[in-house]
Amino acid sequence: MGGTEGSISEPGSPSNSRESETSRQSLSECKVWRNPLNLFRGAEYRRYTWVTGKEPLTYYDMNLSAQDHQTFFTCDTDFLRPSDTVMQKAWRERNPPARIKAAYQALELNNDCATAYVLLAEEEATTIVDAERLFKQALKAGETIYRRSQQCQHQSPQHEAQLRRDTNVLVYIKRRLAMCARKLGRIREAVKIMRDLMKEFPPLTMLNIHENLLESLLELQAYADVQAVLAKYDDISLPKSAAICYTAALLKTRTVSDKFSPETASRRGLSTAEINAVEAIHRAVEFNPHVPKYLLEMKSLILPPEHILKRGDSEAIAYAFFHLQHWKRIEGALNLLQCTWEGTFRMIPYPLEKGHLFYPYPSCTETADRELLPPFHHVSVYPKKELPFFIHFTAGLCSSTAMIALLTHQFPEIMGVFAKAVSMISRTCAEYL
Identify the pLDDT of residue 433: 67
Q: What angle do CA 126, 132, 137 make, to 5 degrees?
A: 115
pLDDT tens digit string along 26-45? 445 578 899 999 999 999 99
Identify the pLDDT of residue 206: 64
Alpha-helical segments (H) within 111-202 = 114-123, 128-152, 157-183, 187-200
| Cβ atoms of residues 80 and 152 within 8 Å | no
Query: What is the number of helices (H) and of strands (E) in the chain?
Result: 21, 2
Write the CA distances from 399 to 203, 227, 422, 423, integer angstroms: 63, 59, 19, 21
Highest mean pLDDT out of 110-114, 200-204, 395-399: 110-114
The packing angle between helices 128-152 and 114-123, to 10°, is 160
Residue 32's SS3 state is strand
Backbone CA torsion sign across 117, 122, 125, 127: positive
Identify the pLDDT of residue 360: 83
The answer, yes or no, to whether residue 352 has pLDDT greater than 50, is yes
The answer, yes or no, to whether residue 389 has pLDDT greater than 60, is no
Residue 258 main-chain phi, psi, to 5 deg: -70, -25
pLDDT tens digit string along 162-187? 888 889 999 999 999 999 999 999 99
| Domain boundaries of the chain, sorted by first residue | 32-232, 243-386, 388-421
pTM: 0.80
Confidence band for 390, pLDDT divided at 50, 70 and 90: low
Choice among 5-9, 289-293, 377-381 with the minimum mean pLDDT: 5-9
What is the Cα–Cα distance from 240 to 248, expressed in whole angstroms? 11
Other Cβ atoms closer than 10 A to 10: 11
What is the Cα–Cα distance from 301 to 250, expressed in whole angstroms? 20
Better pLDDT: 298 or 383: 298
Choice among 8-17, 77-86, 346-355 with the minimum mean pLDDT: 8-17
* Cα distance from N-terminal residue to C-terminal residue, the chain: 71
What is the Cα–Cα distance from 82 to 336, expressed in whole angstroms? 59
Identify the pLDDT of residue 384: 66
Residue 33's SS3 state is strand
Confidence band for 363, pLDDT divided at 50, 70 and 90: confident
